[in-house]
Amino acid sequence: MWLRTCGRILLAVLLGSVLVACAGSPLEPGASGAPGAGTEGGAATPVAEGLVVRRGDHELLRLDVDGLRALPQVEAATAGTGKGSQRGPTVRAVLDRAGVGAVTTVTVEGRDPTQTLTAADLTDRLVLDLTARGTVKLAGPDLPRERWVRDVTALVVPE
């Protein structure tokens, strides 16, 4: 009897420890906690860590996947891709949500080399595609494929 009781207590303590170790902090819809740190070892950076809009070092907005889905969604046909089209909010919609007016350039940071877009690039066909992996991809039919950015973590506007 004593052994059985001790075993149950030990099991409860171990399960409690595992739950505490595995628990993440809750996210509010449309916002997230810790800043995204990019990728390590080629692993994808989930949107749950946040897509940040910055002006220099000043964070203007942070959106998680729910926040991105809450923005108007655009479907942009992209021939030559396995998916056939990209779907998500436009870069312009995210900048508008951050309170960013007219810009001359926007720098997109992510897993691929950083890309700098001009105001002319910010069309209604340039989207932040919400991927099946839980990441964001900059893509669009008017943007050459070599300028697409996977695992986008930040949009940076000049000061």
Q: What CATH number is associated with residue 85?
A: 3.90.420.10
Domain that holds residue 99: 28-157
Whether 5 is in a domain gets the answer no
Whether 6 is in a domain gets the answer no
pLDDT of residue 4: 59
Whether 80 is in a domain gets the answer yes
Whether 56 is in a domain gets the answer yes
Paired with 107 in beta bridges are 116, 156
pLDDT at 49 over 80: no
Nearest CA-CA partner of 137 in 107, 103, 105, 112: 112
Whether 72 is in a domain gets the answer yes
Instruction: List Cβ<8 Å contacts ≥24 apart for 74-83.
Output: 74/124, 74/125, 74/127, 76/125, 76/126, 76/127, 76/139, 76/140, 76/141, 77/141, 78/139, 78/140, 78/141, 79/141, 80/145
Whether 18 is in a domain gets the answer no
pLDDT of residue 1: 59
Q: How confident is the model at residue 6 (pLDDT cuts 50, 70, 90)?
A: very low
Whether 16 is in a domain gets the answer no
Looking at the structure of the chain, the number of domains it has is 1
pTM over 0.75: no
pLDDT of residue 79: 74
Q: How confident is the model at residue 84 (pLDDT cuts 50, 70, 90)?
A: confident
Highest-scoring range by mean pLDDT, 4-8, 45-49, 102-106: 102-106
Whether 96 is in a domain gets the answer yes
pLDDT in tens, 105-144: 999 999 999 999 999 999 999 999 998 888 999 999 999 9
